[in-house]
Amino acid sequence: MKIIYRHPETVDIGGRKVVGIVVFGLLVLLSILVGAASGLLLVYSTDLPQVEELERYRPSSITELYDGQGRVIGTFALQRRVVASYDDYPEVLRNALISIEDKDFYRHSGINVWRIAGAAYRDIESGGKVQGASTLTMQLARNLFLSPDRSFYRKVQEALLAIQIERRFTKPQIFTLYANQIFLGHGAYGFEAASEYYFSKPAKQLNLDEAALLAGLPKAPQYYSPIAHPDHALKRRNLVLNSMLEDGKITAAQATWAKGQPIVLNLQKDQNALAPHYVEEIRRYLEAKYGSDQVLQGGLRVYTSLDMDLQKAANRALLDGLAAYERRHGWQGKLLNVVAQGQKLDKYVDPDWDEEPEVNGYMHALVMQVAPGAAEIRFGRYTATLAPADVAWTQSRKSKVKFSDFFRAGDIVYVKVLSLGTDGRARVSLEQDSGAEGALVAIDNATGEIKAMVGGRDFNLSKFNRATQALRQVGSSFKPYVYTAVIDQGGSPDDTILDAPVIFQTASGPYSPHNYDAKFEGTITLRRALAQSRNIPALKLADRIGIKTVIEYAHRFGVTANIPAYLPVALGSAEITPLEQTSAFSVFPNDGVRVAPRYITKVTDYEGRLLEEDFSDIKDVVSSRTARVMTSMLREVVLHGTAIAAAKMPYPLAGKTGTTNDFTDAWFVGFSPTITCGVWIGYDEKKSLGDKETGARAALPIWMQFMTAALAGKYPGEFQTAPAAEGTAVARKIDTPDTAPGDGELH
């Protein structure tokens, strides 16, 4: 037997060599892994944005419009977002969000390794893509910098960014960035905006159940929408409450109470709906000056001249006036039927229904079914029944209304909301929308600030602003310019003129005008001639001083329209917008000074820096004597003239009616010592309002309703006293030739 001897040291040396080789191999493998990981991290981090950008980051935010009392009247935004601070979010909301989304938020450094590993294992096991397990910081990184696609590549980038964010920012800062950025459904971004949208209150005032509801939305805002899917939202809310209970953030009693609460929403009204035509005017101006990006995303603060209370009164007055006009002319029928257009009753949604209805407001409703003695209608989430009493004004020839003669299922009807019940039932009255339109403008005399503006019956149906864009013949409301020119050139309201038949020779032949009542009063004072709106005296005066002079005075008052120089202009054939005509009349109570109308007082940027400040543009138009004399003459229109219906109002008031040929336009422009208001009524096309629909009948009641609300509880002021010697010491008789150029006629 052969024995081989090995020295012990030889064996030891060989073993060490093997160990060394193994260790070396492991080191090489580790180096390869580290290198590969480093390479992957380098690849994944190559295109990562710089987290330092967050220090300068400002999310897209709402541009808000405020009225004179600081109340929001409108917003412009691509994303409905209200940027809030950490302290603006109550502890109950912070606890709810962290419990359901990221329990270890205050302990981890941006990522939760165990959650990620668990989620990855489940995804690999199920064959799905890597998803879930994101911390709030990772969600913030994704929402700010990355695409929403679910991939391993994006997940690694998300984690790397989260770590960088955690190194640079505090937990409260990270929470605030997240809470301001996250999408929460229905156009709301951030919890402050969501709280205001869903509950019409700031986040600071959220209850436990409300906070839990909002905290459940980030996972899937559409699926858990309390509006679209209240059942889903309720289950998700209760899950949040359970998580808070497990984390010790609430007691069992609090959880039980909150789970027992129904979901009660108080959806924020569209703030642009109060004065949509006014807001649209401001939007056009701002976008022209600052650009649409700044307006829609820059978070401007726009301080306007509007008064929310006066705007509400203006809306109500115009719609009530149009309803009264419609009722005077009886039921027209000709209703649009959506079923005939191929739509289904249960699927139809009217633009009016985007807004929550208001008591005494007007809207379009859908007829759902018709019975012999009633009709069921729907508008938004409300239903109502039209009974015989609600349609009595239609003046049916039959003693008993047969509803099938009026309506069919699918008809769109116009109604006034009389009451709204918590059970979704409403009480309404039938109204009519035949297409008659109107406009109202109210201006502060001293500042020129536009306090209220209504540009039409329904902004949803027509964006055209009749207050600023509609050039309409002003009828006899033009006559004050004629009398102003006469008074300013030394005339007196006690001067007399002959109201008698007259023939003017024109290029197109003889022109024989007449008065509205087809009568003549003989010799009358200028004061009475204006108060009674006599046509013959106005034409004679315009002929005496020259129609070009009259037009020049109108332009001095701020009328910019090109007015042809022919005599019938004196009776109001000139086309002027309601805004310009109203602003012009404010010169009279303003002692002859014109203050240009203005919408905006100042604009600041997101940081509060002043971008612009608007000051009143003031210009002398006529002497204070002329203004005071004209005010006294226009006061006579109210006390004893065509606007005598307003004489019962307990305020010093003055103004002028206006009616055009064939009753196509009805006006009243009038003023108190503090505010001037103009009202126009008519159709967009040149169409008669109907026989006897004068300014006094169609427009004046609207003006009176608005002015009653505008002056209620306020000191109305006093008109300046007219000079004792108005014009010459002795009243003169004004005579005029019976010839003048021009043709046409208005009254």
Residue 5 backbone phi and psi in degrees, to 5: -105, 130
Predicted confidence (pLDDT) per residue in 18-35, tens digit: 666 766 666 656 655 554
Q: What mean pLDDT value characterizes the chain?
A: 87
Is residue 352 predicted with pLDDT exceeding 80? yes
Pair 190, 181: CB distance under 8 Å: yes
Task: Look at 44-58, 88-102, 166-180, 472-486 and tell me which has the smallest mean pLDDT.
Answer: 44-58
Is residue 476 flagged as an active site residue?
A: yes
Is residue 118 predicted with pLDDT exceeding 60? no
Please list, in sequence order, all residues whose beta carbon lies within 8 angstroms of the beta carbon of residue 266, skipping any fewer than 6 positions away.
198, 199, 200, 201
In this predicted structure, what is the pLDDT of residue 590? 97
Amino acid at 362: Y
Predicted confidence (pLDDT) per residue in 674-719, tens digit: 999 999 999 999 999 999 999 999 999 999 999 999 999 999 999 9
Token duo for residue 12: 């030891």
In this predicted structure, what is the pLDDT of residue 56? 67
Mean pLDDT of 567-581: 95
Phi-psi region of 641 (alpha: psi -120 to 50; beta: other; left: phi over 0): beta
State which CATH number among 3.30.1490.100, 3.40.710.10, 3.40.50.720, 1.10.1270.20 fits the domain covering 438-725: 3.40.710.10
Mean pLDDT of 200-209: 96
Token duo for residue 534: 């006599």
Confidence band (pLDDT; 50, 70, 90) for 490? Answer: very high
Token duo for residue 693: 């629909």
The domain locations on the chain are: 88-186+203-261, 330-433, 438-725
Catalytic residue among 101, 326, 449, 693: 101
Please list, in sequence order, all residues whose beta carbon lies within 8 angstroms of the beta carbon of residue 311, skipping any fewer than 6 positions away.
67, 73, 274, 275, 278, 451, 452, 453, 454
What's the CA gap between 593 and 595, in Å, rounded? Answer: 6
Please list, in sequence order, all residues whose beta carbon lies within 8 angstroms of the beta carbon of residue 627, skipping any fewer than 6 positions away.
587, 588, 589, 590, 591, 592, 621, 720
In this predicted structure, what is the pLDDT of residue 218? 95
CATH architecture for residues 330-433: Beta Barrel (2.40)
Burial string for 588-602 (b: 16+ CB within 10 Å, else e) reads bbbbbbbbebbbbbe
Pair 637, 665: CB distance under 8 Å: no
In this predicted structure, what is the pLDDT of residue 740? 41
Return the HEC string of 717-747.
CCCCCCCCCCCCCCCCEECCCCCCCCCCCCC
Confidence band (pLDDT; 50, 70, 90) for 647? Answer: very high
Distances (CA, A) of 494 to 21, 45, 367, 522, 585: 125, 90, 60, 15, 22
Is residue 183 predicted with pLDDT exceeding 90? yes
Task: Look at 87-96, 261-270, 285-294, 736-745 and tell me which has the smallest mean pLDDT.
Answer: 736-745
Predicted confidence (pLDDT) per residue in 521-553, tens digit: 999 999 999 999 999 999 999 999 999 999 999
In this predicted structure, what is the pLDDT of residue 140? 85
- 423 CB-side CA count, 13 A: 3
Is residue 101 flagged as an active site residue?
A: yes
Strands (E), 77-147: 80-81
Q: Decide: residue 439, CB within 10 A, 0-12 exposed, 13-18 middle, 19+ buried.
A: buried
Nearest to 453 by CA among 614, 274, 295: 274
For 408, the 3-state DSSP assignment is coil
What's the CA gap between 639 and 645, in Å, rounded? Answer: 8
Please list, in sequence order, all residues whose beta carbon lies within 8 angstroms of the beta carbon of residue 514, skipping any fewer than 6 positions away.
501, 535, 536, 745
Fold topology of 88-186+203-261 = Penicillin binding protein transpeptidase fold (1.10.3810)
Phi-psi region of 123 (alpha: psi -120 to 50; beta: other; left: phi over 0): alpha
Nearest to 212 by CA among 241, 233, 190, 181: 241
Mean pLDDT of 497-515: 85
Q: What secondary structure letter does DSSP report for 598?
A: B
Task: Look at 190-194, 454-458, 738-742 and tell me which has the smallest mean pLDDT.
Answer: 738-742
* Residue pointed to by tokens 């004061």: 527
Distances (CA, A) of 17 to 6, 23, 24, 247: 16, 10, 10, 56
Return the HEC string of 329-394.
CCCCCCCCECCCCCCCCCCCCCHHHHCCCCCCCEEEEEEEEEECCEEEEEECCEEEEECHHHHHHH
pLDDT above 70: percentage of residues in the chain: 84
What's the CA gap between 241 and 97, in Å, rounded? Answer: 10
Amino acid at 233: A
Radius of gyration of the chain (CA): 37
Task: Look at 62-71, 107-116, 568-577, 648-657 and tell me which has the smallest mean pLDDT.
Answer: 107-116
In this predicted structure, what is the pLDDT of residue 573? 93
In this predicted structure, what is the pLDDT of residue 343? 93
pLDDT above 90: percentage of residues in the chain: 68
